[in-house]
Structure 1
Amino acid sequence: MFTIDELPDSPYNTSDVVELLEEMDDFFSPPLTERVRMESGLPSLEAYVDKILTLGHVLIHFDEKEVHGVTLFYANDQKQKNAYIAMLAVKQGFHNQGIAKKMVIKAIEIIKKEGMQTISLKTWKENTIAVALYEKIGFVVKEVDEKNIKMQYTFPS
């Protein structure tokens, strides 16, 4: 049986999330460790996960044996009422099972309860599978540059 839960309420911890992200490092372009350093200025994936845990939310998809995927997001911009999905990652071997979709939908539910009105995210242009998933859920493309696609979800009024 699969479960989606939020750290720290799950049987897993930060090290399990960091381990999964390190496993998937080279599946991101640029590699995840490099991207975290460039975009957040933080020295490691562990520091990045700790930051999100302090200021945002970490959802994990798991069973009794292992973590299959993670979603890291912020829902703390009370002025703009905008949440931000910082990362969605599903472990190799668990793709095409609906895990990413379930995790994004769970994140949307939490974000709505936090009182946000919109959700932003960005993914690299070549990640057509992620773009299609986000569009299917209701995100729309807001901006495209040479590397990234920025998307937004707006809660119905």
Structure 2
Amino acid sequence: MTSITIKKCSMEDLQILQEISIETFRDTFKDQNSPENMKAYLDKAYTLNKLEMELLHTSSQFFFIYSNAELAGYLKVNIDDAQSEEMDDASLEIERIYVRRKFQKQGIGKFLMNKAIEIAIELNKKTIWLGVWEKNQNAIAFYSKNGFVKTGAHAFHMGDEEQVDYILTKTL
């Protein structure tokens, strides 16, 4: 039987957070983006300094998820001024649900989604939302299956390419 545990991240997790961020992002998006744009994005988005600032932000939280004591992925949620789009005070953003390739299709994403919903309810939030790349069909299907609906779109910059992220929202 699989043992699942979720642990809130701290500054001691910074190096591991950087490693899993780069690994999961690269595995998910490398086949659909140029190596130059991937490198440019990864070199900017997941520096130790940037991740440290995100970890220290009081309106953001990170959680690692383990499957049988092996790091399987992580969740990042934002409220208030940490949200990547201007939203009302009743919203919680799921900025990242990143699952390592070998753990995909095993329910890990669902555990992380449930953790985000649990946090939103504890904080009396009315909606949860996220941005997902329009070409990431697996993620869009997952979120749709979990009650999210498309409510908008915004630009996402991958190196020198402007891409479109759908904004998906779920009312709690």
TM-score bracket for the superposition, by shorter chain length: 0.7 to 0.9
Match in the other structure for 1:6: 8
Matches of 1:113 and 1:72, distance apart in 2: 16
Q: Are 1:92 and 2:101 matched, yes or no? A: yes
Q: Are 1:34 and 2:41 matched, yes or no? A: yes
Match in the other structure for 1:80: 89
Give the C-alpha shift of residue 46 in structure 1: 2.6
Match in the other structure for 2:117: 108
How many equivalent residue pairs? Answer: 148
Contact 1:33 1:45 in 2 (8 A): no
From 49, 71, 75, give the equivalent of 2:75: 71
Give the C-alpha shift of residue 147 in structure 1: 2.0
Q: Which has the higher contact order (CA 8 A, sep 6+)?
A: 2
User: What letter matches 2:7 in structure 1?
Assistant: D
- Taking a change above 3 Å as real, the CA distance of residues 52 and 103 of structure 1, as seen in their structure-2 partners, is same
Give the C-alpha shift of residue 152 in structure 1: 0.7
User: What is the CA deviation profile of residues 111-139 of structure 1, one whole-angstrom value per residue up to 9, with x for unaligned ones?
Assistant: 21112211121110111111111112111
TM-score normalised by the chain length of structure 1? 0.79
RMSD: 2.7
Match in the other structure for 1:60: 64
Q: Are 1:129 and 2:129 matched, yes or no? A: no
SS of equivalent residue, structure 2 residue 105: coil
Contact 1:143 1:150 in 2 (8 A): yes
- Taking a change above 3 Å as real, the CA distance of residues 88 and 105 of structure 1, as seen in their structure-2 partners, is same
Contact 2:80 2:89 in 1 (8 A): no
Give the C-alpha shift of residue 32 in structure 1: 8.1
Greater fraction helix: 2
- Taking a change above 3 Å as real, the CA distance of residues 3 and 130 of structure 1, as seen in their structure-2 partners, is same
Residue ranges of structure 2 left out of the alignment (5+ in a row): 82-86, 155-162
Give the C-alpha shift of residue 109 in structure 1: 0.4
